[in-house]
């Protein structure tokens, strides 16, 4: 492994963000532009610039750019479609992650990777800890777990942050779908027996920067798993009801069971994550999911009214 110090330029970390046009990548880019991250120099790349599945391109990118840290936001995230396209899901979520990890090992870079609550089967009743047994029940969850294992096999230094129910003012997500349906329909039926925690991707992006700022990357070795979501828990039905209410939509939300909702992929019934470890390690104060939802909707309103 190369000496990590070789890569650090003028004391600033060079941070490669892959999959930068997705929800989390866009939130990181917004933060980087806001000027709060002068300790980093960012390189933002999406699939058109760097396909993480292309081993030769990724190796070449690492050889020609001095990367201290990679934050991998690239992923195959179409949970239902993955059931019909397992090869595509595994190509990105397992093999692509493995390629990034192998480059990090060769070049002495640190890897921050995002995984999911869907590595758990959802039969639990108390928040899942990092040490709890995984047992994914769908292709997406299986492919994301395989990505975690690929990092372990490569022996990369870094961390895996498992998160859940991400939404953002960027990209496609449940919040934006509900707002659209709220304007088009009088009623919408939403599953009321799956429990989790909605998480604003902006909160996760801020957490990643906080971790970067408070970690001695050059002297941190090994691979650790952390759980991060916003605080609290709810069902998709409660989440949808909050979106309609805060979004000023008159659309009525009807609770239905998982069995009544046609979906290709089975989802965990309970996937709340325990965040004790990340809060204690990094001194985090995490916002409540409904406070964050309010802030995201305000941001969306502001953007809509000025464009």
Ligand X SMILES: NC(=O)c1ccc[n+]([C@@H]2O[C@H](COP(=O)([O-])OP(=O)(O)OC[C@H]3O[C@@H](n4cnc5c(N)ncnc54)[C@H](OP(=O)(O)O)[C@@H]3O)[C@@H](O)[C@H]2O)c1
Binding interface with ligand X (CB under 6 A):
18-19, 21-24, 46-47, 51-53, 73-77, 92, 96, 114, 116, 144, 163-166, 171, 201
Q: How close are the terminal C-alpha atoms of the chain, in Å?
A: 49
Q: Nearer Cβ to ligand X, position 4 or 158?
A: 158
Q: Provide, rounded to whole angstroms, the least separation between the CB of residue 289 and ligand X.
A: 13
- Could you tell me if 106 and 2 are in contact, meaning their C-beta atoms sit under 8 angstroms apart? yes
Q: Provide, rounded to whole angstroms, the least separation between the CB of residue 24 and ligand X.
A: 4
- Report, as residue numbers or ranges, the catalytic residues: 140
Q: Provide, rounded to whole angstroms, the least separation between the CB of residue 117 and ligand X.
A: 6
Token pair listed for 34:
């806001």
- What DSSP string runs through 150-210? HHHHHT--EEEEEE-SEE-SSS--HHHHHHHHHHH-SEEEEE-S-EE--EEHHHHHHHHHH
Give residue number: closest CB to ligand X. 22
Buried b (16+ CB within 10 A) or exposed e, 139-167: bbbbbbbbbbebbeebebbbbbbbbbbbb
Q: Nearer Cβ to ligand X, position 76 or 270?
A: 76
Q: Nearer Cβ to ligand X, position 62 or 76?
A: 76
Which of 134, 41, 145 minimizes the C-alpha distance to 89? 145
Q: Nearer Cβ to ligand X, position 4 or 95?
A: 95
Residue 158 has φ and ψ, to the nearest 5°, of 165, -165
Q: Nearer Cβ to ligand X, position 218 or 261?
A: 261
């Amino acid at each position: 492994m190369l000496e990590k110090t070789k890569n650090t330029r003028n004391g600033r970390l060079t941070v490669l963000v892959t999959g930068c046009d997705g929800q989390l990548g866009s939130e990181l880019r917004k933060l980087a532009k806001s000027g709060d991250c002068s300790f980093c120099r960012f390189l933002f790349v999406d699939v058109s610039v760097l396909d993480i599945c292309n081993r030769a391109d990724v190796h070449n990118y690492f050889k020609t750019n001095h990367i201290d840290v990679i934050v991998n936001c690239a992923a195959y995230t179409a949970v239902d479609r993955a059931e019909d396209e397992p090869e595509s899901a595994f190509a990105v979520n397992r093999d692509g992650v493995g390629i990034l990890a192998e480059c990090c090992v060769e070049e002495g870079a640190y890897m921050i990777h995002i995984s999911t609550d869907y590595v758990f089967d959802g039969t639990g009743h108390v928040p899942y800890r990092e040490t709890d047994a995984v047992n994914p029940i769908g292709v997406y969850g299986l492919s994301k777990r395989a990505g975690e294992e690929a990092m372990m096999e490569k022996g990369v230094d870094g961390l895996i942050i498992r998160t859940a129910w991400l939404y953002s003012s960027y990209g496609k997500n449940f919040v934006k779908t509900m707002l659209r349906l709220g304007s088009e329909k009088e009623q919408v039926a939403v599953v009321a027996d799956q429990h989790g925690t909605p998480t604003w991707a902006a909160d996760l992006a801020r957490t990643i920067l906080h971790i970067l700022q408070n970690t001695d990357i050059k002297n941190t070795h090994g691979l650790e798993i952390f759980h991060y979501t916003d605080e609290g828990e709810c069902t998709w039905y409660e989440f949808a009801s909050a979106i309609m209410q805060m979004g000023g939509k008159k659309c009525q939300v009807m609770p239905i069971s998982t069995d009544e909702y046609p979906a290709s992929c089975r989802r965990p019934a309970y996937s709340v994550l325990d965040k004790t470890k990340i809060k204690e390690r990094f001194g985090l104060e995490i916002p409540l999911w409904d406070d964050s939802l309010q802030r995201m909707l305000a941001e969306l309103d502001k953007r809509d009214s000025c464009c």
